[in-house]
Every structure is written in C-alpha cells, then in structure tokens.
Homo-oligomer: A and B are copies of this chain.
Amino acid sequence: MANGREIDIELLFAGDRVAIARAISAAEDGRPGAEELLRQIFPKTGRAYRIGITGPPGAGKSTLTNMLGSLYRRQGLRVGIIAVDPTSPFTGGALLGDRVRMTDVETDDQVFIRSMASRGSLGGLSRTTIEAADILDAAGKDIVLMETVGVGQSELDIAGAADTTLVVLVPESGDSIQAMKAGLMEIADSFVLNKADRPGADQAVHSIHMILHIRGESTWAPSVVKTVAIQGEGIEDVAQEIAKHRLYLERSGEFDARRERRLRERIESLVRDRLHVDFWDAARRSLLKDRMPAVKRKELSPYDMAEQLVAHFHAH
C-alpha cells in the first residue's frame, strides 16, 4: 500500500484506534507515506464538527475539553480530542501532561485522545494538528475537539482550523485583559469564563462584554458562558452555545465560507513547503554558503543576497 505499509485505510475509515494512532504518527513524523494517506482520506473528510478550545495557561482548558467530550459521548456522538502542547523539544513530550487528569474520557474507548508535541516548530504543529483532525474526521468522529495552550500564533492557526472557537478565561485580575490584548478577542466565537466560583467572576464577564462592545457590531455576537469545569457546572450551556453558533454558521453561509478559506490556506501552505524544498537545493545552499562571509562583513546585505538567490532560482 502506497501510504506506508502498516496503515490499513479501510480499518481507519471504520474508526479502528490502532489505524488512527498510526496514521496520526505518520503525519506527525512527516513520513513519506503520510501525504499519500492524507490524499486518500481527503474525500472522506468534512463531516466532523471541529471545535477549537484556547486561552491562557492555567485557565482549565483540559478540564473543559474533558467535560465537553464526556457530554458529547453521552449524546451518543463519536469524539476525537487533539491536545496541542507546544512542549519542550528536549523531552519530546510533556513534562507534566495535562492529560493525566482526563480520566473520564480516557477510559472511554469511543473517544480518541492525542497529545501533540511541537518539536520546535509551531508552524509545523498547526499543520500536523489539521492533519490529525482530518484523520479523526475520516475515521468517523462526529466531533473533533482541538485544545491548544498559550497565547500566540498557534491559537490563531487552530482558530483557523476550527468551525467554532471557544476562548477560555478565568476571573483573575488582568488575565482577561491580557488575553484580549493578545488577539484572542478576534478569534472567539464564544467565551467561557471558567472557575467562575472564584471572586471577580462577574467583573470579568462585564469586562469581556465591554470589550466586545468596542469590537463593534457583527452578525454573530459572542456570548460569555460561566463554568466551573472541574465540577461539571455550565458545560451544557457551553454545548448549547456551540450548537447555536453552528446553526448560525450554516444559515448564514459562513460555514462554507470558513471551510473554503481553510482549504485555500491549506493549499497555500503546501505550495510554500514545496517551493522551499525546490528552492534550497545543493546549488543554492552552496551559493549562500560561499557568500555568507561577505554578509557577515556587512559588504553584502541580506536583501541583496536574497535577490541573488532568487535570480539564480529563476535562471535555472
């Protein structure tokens, strides 16, 4: 089989756990067969609803993801979870994985959970996450939950890959404002104020509403849902808000628009990768190497060097 001998694509379509795990590993490691596999499963993708869950460290994203997964399972849906953990390249895995807390869904063999490590490149991470979501989608999952930690590019990428994006915040002073400054406001389809039993919860909800007001009118108005995820409080409200957003997307035509945009970005990213490989062949690598001393001596600027390299590419 062209996709790498060990992955049986029919078993994958049937939702087989081992086949799913192998397929995701192949994608994560960028194995030669992985792209052929992704090409083969592409026609089977597009069924699963993809939910992004993001927010600052310590907001309780893992617990919320756990609880949402359990809720969907009780509704008889098949659930896949991808936890994006931009963890240390030197350990190759989480030092203290959040996943150890996810006992509820982890003992449920209809839920497939996968933690992803960044291995130094968050750009690569977002690509792998999207590929893993496609694999879970093709494997028959109804819901794919994508959880990502931090405040940075990875959130924006994950938001781009999700149908509905939840931004999880906590009442602690400053946190919500910091998160908003970091650009989380734009990507939120709904806010979850977790740990809402702590002091300052109502104040935080108020702050979010204030800033939503600044953000101005739009056809979709994000709500702020209060939860105490660790106790299961408010999880149904979150699910209801997701359902409401899904209905809005479908009725407004935004659902198709988002998915088309996602495909377009995928193509652009694949083009970028291919051009990079084509460009940095032995000839151009040695051209750069030869002229680096002049760049270091400030005789040749990086701008001129880049131009010379591109000219070489077009001439050959």
Per-residue CB proximity of A270-306 to B under 8 Å, as 1/0? 1110111011000000001000100110110111111
- Tally of this chain's copies: 2
Give bound CA distance, A154 to B46, whole Å: 31
Between-chain CB contacts (< 8 Å), 26 pairs: A39-B301, A42-B302, A45-B298, A57-B174, A57-B182, A86-B152, A88-B185, A88-B186, A89-B183, A89-B186, A90-B186, A96-B181, A122-B153, A122-B156, A123-B153, A149-B151, A150-B182, A152-B152, A153-B153, A153-B154, A256-B296, A260-B292, A267-B306, A271-B279, A271-B310, A278-B314
Seen from chain A, the residues whose Cβ lies within 8 Å of a Cβ on chain B are 35, 38-39, 42-43, 45-46, 56-58, 85-91, 94-96, 118, 120, 122-123, 149-156, 174-175, 177-183, 185-186, 211, 214-216, 256, 259-260, 263-264, 266-267, 270-272, 274-276, 278-279, 288, 292, 295-296, 298-299, 301-307, 309-310, 313-314
Q: Indicate if the CB atoms of A46 and B175 lie closer than 8 Å.
A: no
Closest chain B residue to A297 by CB distance?
Answer: B43
Given contacts A263-B296, A275-B279, A182 and B86 within 8 Å (CB-CB): yes
